[in-house]
Structure 1
Amino acid sequence: MPSAYPVAVRAAYAGSTVTPPTDEPRGRPLLLAVDAPSLLHRHHHARASTDLRDRGGRPAWALHGMLLQILETVEGFTPDAVVFGLDDRAASVRREAYPDYKAGRAEKDATLVEQLERAGPLLGALGLRAVTPAGLEADDVSASAAAWAEARGWRCVVVTSDRDAFAHISEHTHVLRLITGGVDGSPLLTPARLHAMYGVHAEHYLEYAALRGDASDNLPGVPGIGEKAAALLMAQVGSMQEVWADLEHCAGATVAAAVDDQCLEEGRRRAGAGLVRKLAADGARARFDFNVGIMAGRADVDLGLTPEVPGSPGLLPVAADRVARAVDYLGVPSTTDLAVRVLAGGGAQRM
């Protein structure tokens, strides 16, 4: 059976000890879930020097860069449907629970803010599905897309540069983590590759992140436990529920022994007792539980996808005249031609 993934994506595995999947069932349709703010931020900074303006004279370089990368991804993966997640910029349930959430980040440039606000209307004009969940973020749309796909027997690929999406990885949901080099140079993360990179199973990534914390969101981790200690703990014990149960019932003896065994195998000093002390310290469990609550993506966002209704928003292909009108306003004829070809029924053939 040929690979379910295009040559451009398989190329991202060159030189890696992990190979891309080749046994994905061809009968499963594919949902592409795109973290739009992530792409807009990247292209705002990368393309600001172009000062590209749309036909109305408004800044458009981030929107144009986002669209080009979307087209590249759609052409490579040939999905059956695409949904875009956007952040609610007016309200945040996470900030209500934790006022210091994402505190310390630099204030967004006014031209970026304008393009963030125009992204939804542009995507909607294209006939694509953009979702701004009340009080939530693009990552909640990604989490909901993964759940939606699993419940309906679809595959899902999340497109983002944000590590938070790693918590959604499963047998049928993979993450294309966009880095410098575009789609061809970005890793497609499967459960196997995530484990190879972090030593953590996909189903435990959220707990690993909660232990480690996330400086970009201003979320401290459990005191004294960084990435290496968190990965060691998760690799040897697995679920944190087992860790907390062991701490409660036998003062962490089983956890300490498992960690020490691994340390000895690797020729390192024993770390079990010290790790247990940190986990048993006042406030450690509360910090972990709080981080899980803040970091966990909501899986119940209504995506508004109706694959049983041909031509409904989010389904591909899209009407060519609609695509042409929406993209033409950006003022780059070559991009209009590309968008019509990729979104309106041309593009690459499935492999």
Structure 2
Amino acid sequence: MAQRPPILLIDAPSLYFRAYLGIPESAAKTEDGQPVNAVRGFLDMLAQLIRTRRPDRMVCALDHDWRPAWRVELLPSYKAHRLAPEGGEVVPDTLSPQVPMILDVLEAIGITAVGATGYEADDVLGTLSVTQDAPVEVVSGDRDLFQLVDDVRGVRLLYVGRGVAKLDDCDDAAVRARYGVPADRYADFAALRGDPSDGLPGVPGVGEKTAARLIDRYGGLAGILAALDEPGSGFAPGLRTKLDAARGYLAVAPKVVEVARDVPLPDLATALPAAPAQPERLLELAQRWNLAGSCRRLVDALADRP
């Protein structure tokens, strides 16, 4: 029996932020001068993914809480550098108004978008990756989502670090080749290495190679911490001192990095339509926001699937 097509789980904030940065505002505006570069780029990315991956289902995950309180309670530095003085996330002024536009277009087409109070898009993706029928392809430029890769279940990460046209189709072997650790140990690896983009300090003096070597030798963070208490366990004196000093951080950091897989989500309509659910509304939005080309490419991609 032929394997069914994949469900594409889209990290919407990751893609629309990339679209915003990748297309100049001057190249995509409405008639009254409002930028729509993120909208246009995001829709074109979806069209290309549908043409190349041939999915029969799709869900776009949203950030309803970009900095959940439960993660901040564990690690106050989590994304603190991205916190605006008045509260909320630092987001370009011309990007924020484009997010509702994206959601309106998705609704008119009939592509489901979902978020959850108290959780990030990563957590929604993590939950969908274990609750939706395989095969599953997660599309993101967020390295933390390498931890979702699961060869047994059939979950891959389509990593768009170089763009959708040059995405990296990653299974467990690809994660190992890239970082030297299996996908199910990525959270431990990231905690040790740190990630300035998320406010994770890491262990001073422990970079990617050292983190991977430690995980390979001791099996994971739990094994590393247990070995610290054993005399003659093979740590260089300086490394032992650094790891011992970071025990408090290492006790909470993996919980911050780990993607939730138990987010309460409603029943979702995941099937990709062959034609827009609301064609007249889509036409009106396309004309209002100067998106005719991008909407047509997306509609054509949907119609061209078998």
Instruction: Report the TM-score range of the alignment, normalised by the length of the smaller protein.
Output: 0.7 to 0.9
Counterpart pick for 2:45 among 69, 72, 92: 69
Q: Structure 1: where are the runs of 5+ without partners?
A: 1-24, 257-270, 307-312
Q: Is the CA contact (8 Å cut-off) linking 2:276 and 2:299 kept in structure 1?
A: yes
Alignment partners' CA distance in 2, 1:247 and 1:321: 59
Pair 1:320-2:276 in alignment: yes
Alignment partners' CA distance in 2, 1:173 and 1:217: 24
Q: Is the CA contact (8 Å cut-off) linking 1:305 and 1:314 kept in structure 2?
A: no
**Change in CA separation of 1:126 and 1:301 when aligned onto 2, cut-off 3 Å:** farther
Pair 1:133-2:91 in alignment: no
Query: Sequence identity, in percent?
Result: 32
Q: Structure 2: where are the runs of 5+ without partners?
A: 85-89
Q: Is the CA contact (8 Å cut-off) linking 2:67 and 2:120 kept in structure 1?
A: no
* AA matched with 2:170: L
The match for 1:104 is 81
* AA matched with 1:188: D
Alignment partners' CA distance in 2, 1:86 and 1:116: 10
**Change in CA separation of 1:237 and 1:323 when aligned onto 2, cut-off 3 Å:** farther
The match for 1:296 is 258
- Give the Å deviation of 1:163: 0.5
Alignment partners' CA distance in 1, 2:219 and 2:2: 32
The match for 2:87 is none
The match for 2:156 is 174
TM normalised by structure 1 equals: 0.76
Counterpart pick for 1:210 among 183, 188, 191: 191
Alignment partners' CA distance in 2, 1:227 and 1:322: 48
* AA matched with 2:161: I
**Change in CA separation of 1:297 and 1:218 when aligned onto 2, cut-off 3 Å:** same
Pair 1:227-2:208 in alignment: yes
Alignment partners' CA distance in 1, 2:97 and 2:59: 21
The match for 1:261 is none
**Change in CA separation of 1:97 and 1:234 when aligned onto 2, cut-off 3 Å:** closer
Q: What number of residue pairs does the alignment pair up?
A: 294
SS in 1 for 2:94: helix
**Change in CA separation of 1:176 and 1:324 when aligned onto 2, cut-off 3 Å:** farther
Alignment partners' CA distance in 2, 1:214 and 1:337: 39
The match for 2:96 is 113
* AA matched with 1:177: Y
Counterpart pick for 1:238 among 205, 219, 222: 219
**Change in CA separation of 1:277 and 1:100 when aligned onto 2, cut-off 3 Å:** closer
Alignment partners' CA distance in 1, 2:129 and 2:4: 13
* AA matched with 1:176: L
Counterpart pick for 1:144 among 116, 127, 151: 127
* AA matched with 1:144: T
The match for 1:259 is none
Pair 1:30-2:6 in alignment: yes
Alpha-carbon RMSD = 2.5
Counterpart pick for 1:52 among 7, 20, 28: 28
* AA matched with 2:48: E
Q: Is the CA contact (8 Å cut-off) linking 1:48 and 1:62 kept in structure 2?
A: no
**Change in CA separation of 1:225 and 1:90 when aligned onto 2, cut-off 3 Å:** closer
Q: Which has the higher contact order (CA 8 A, sep 6+)?
A: 2
Alignment partners' CA distance in 2, 1:97 and 1:274: 27
SS in 2 for 1:32: strand
SS in 2 for 1:130: strand
- Give the Å deviation of 1:196: 0.8
